[in-house]
Structure 1
Amino acid sequence: MNCFYSIKDERRVEIKIRRSTFICSMKYVENVDEAKAFISSVSSEHKNANHNCWAYIVGDKAEMFHSSDQGEPAGTAGKPMLNALQSYSMTSIAAVVTRYFGGVKLGVRGLIEAYGEAVKNAIGMEKLRKLVKTKEYTINLPYAFHDSFIHQLKNFPGEVTDTRYFDIVSLDFAAEDHAASELEKMLDSCQSAGKLTFIQREMEDK
């Protein structure tokens, strides 16, 4: 199964290379219109910069993407930015790299490396978020069965998103959609044996 990643909060990182300043701004976007709006916003903010180059990828399977060198030599900015995003299997993402020229030319290779590095630095600021459809289950069980049950849950891709302790333990588990049917078989078996009760609802992690 192909997995894709994005970010939660907007990111911004600045690097300096041979007197030029490169500022990478990055944001989660859901569609092309949101990507274009973000690009326009950053470009307006840095309207006095020499260049505001950009790249975006959207779509559940990262099938829609575009980039622009915005005045830099062809293939030296937008494409390496897009390549950086794709190398991390990203989608629902827009990136703008703003350049303030410092008076020293970097050459074709230098520009490619600088724009790619700016994007990679922004990606590396925090862990990426895995984008995957999930089903969330609320599971109620006695304390005596809790440790054993948690051990069984480790066999299924997903995460415990909340746990509440009352006279019983009530926990929420978000399972990746492709593993939901097998998880439900296990839950049904445990429920039939009187070990727990559960309910399920669909959600999507963004």
Structure 2
Amino acid sequence: MFSIKNSIESSFRERGSKFLGFLFSAETEDAFSDQLNSLKSKYPDATHHCYGWRMNPAQPKEFSTDDGEPSGTAGLPILNQLKSFEVINAGIVVVRYYGGTKLGKSGLIEAYGLAARQCLEAASLISIKPVRLYEIQYPYPVENNIQQLINSFGLKVMESEYLEHITLKVACSIETAARFEKELAGMEHLNITFKKLEEHFIAG
């Protein structure tokens, strides 16, 4: 699976109709709605604002709508492009200005799919990988030991807090999580404690 690094726009004309594609990150339905409402405000006179989105790598959730186009001719082709590119936590809105010539069902499917595909082909995609999160607490004198662990396991530090002790929240690849836990458990004599947290997904 992949997330997108940047927002992308596309546009083309098909038999008089103008199609504008917009690809952007969206991790929640509210975030998507904000972007959708912004586009509706920017293009209030458009004939249709059709879209599809996919969210939550752990349990993918997806949705699409044709916004008045014939059933299955707009939202689904957009969503299918997101699925084809294995992109998640993103949405695509395709704005159409009707040009006076009907495209027919197959023409609409092709046009909406093309608007979405053009955006995805131009986007920078980032691989998303499954990780296990851990909270580690340790005294300042053993920071070098922890840094060695971070480097050898390729950990990503998600949060850090420097108070009486140092507390880090780190992400470890699922494939090496068991070995990482074993290493941590073997360092308890250095007053290093840890908590195993939930599974998560991060851009790698």
TM-score interval, normalised by the smaller of the two chains: 0.5 to 0.7
**Secondary structure in structure 1 of the residue aligned to 2:122:** coil
Would you say the 8 A contact 1:53–1:98 is kept in 2? yes
Amino acid at match of 1:82: L
Amino acid at match of 2:77: P
57-66 or 30-39, larger mean C-alpha shift: 57-66
Q: Please say if 1:59 is aligned against 2:59.
A: no
- Following superposition, the deviation at residue 21 of structure 1 comes to 1.5
Consecutive unaligned residues of structure 1, counting only runs of 5 or more, are: 141-152, 161-173, 187-201
Which of the numbers 133, 140, 143 marks the counterpart of 2:131? 133
Give the Cα separation in 1 of the matches to 2:59 and 2:17: 32
| Residue identity (%) | 32
Give the Cα separation in 2 of the matches to 1:179 and 1:17: 51
35-44 or 112-121, larger mean C-alpha shift: 35-44
Amino acid at match of 1:133: V
Alpha-carbon displacement from aligned partner over 1:11-70 (angstroms, at most 9, x marks no partner)? 111122222211111111111111122111112211111111011111123532111111
Alpha-carbon displacement from aligned partner over 1:63-114 (angstroms, at most 9, x marks no partner)? 3211111111111000111111111222211110001122222110010011
Give the Cα separation in 2 of the matches to 1:176 and 1:118: 35
Give the Cα separation in 2 of the matches to 1:159 and 1:122: 32
Distance 1:125 1:182, change over 3 A: farther
Distance 1:87 1:68, change over 3 A: same
Equivalent position of 2:86 in the other structure:
89
TM-score, L = length of structure 1: 0.66
Equivalent position of 1:193 in the other structure:
none
Give the Cα separation in 2 of the matches to 1:13 and 1:159: 37
Which of the numbers 6, 18, 21 marks the counterpart of 1:9? 6
Which of the numbers 93, 97, 100 marks the counterpart of 2:97? 100
Give the Cα separation in 2 of the matches to 1:100 and 1:6: 29
- Following superposition, the deviation at residue 182 of structure 1 comes to 5.0
Would you say the 8 A contact 1:62–1:91 is kept in 2? no
Alpha-carbon displacement from aligned partner over 1:140-196 (angstroms, at most 9, x marks no partner)? 6xxxxxxxxxxxx8xx9x799xxxxxxxxxxxxx8633334457889xxxxxxxxxx
Equivalent position of 1:196 in the other structure:
none
Q: Count the aligned residue pairs.
A: 171
Amino acid at match of 2:2: Y
Would you say the 8 A contact 2:58–2:201 is kept in 1? no
Amino acid at match of 1:31: T
Give the Cα separation in 1 of the matches to 2:61 and 2:15: 34
Give the Cα separation in 2 of the matches to 1:26 and 1:59: 17
Distance 1:180 1:41, change over 3 A: same
Give the Cα separation in 2 of the matches to 1:81 and 1:102: 20
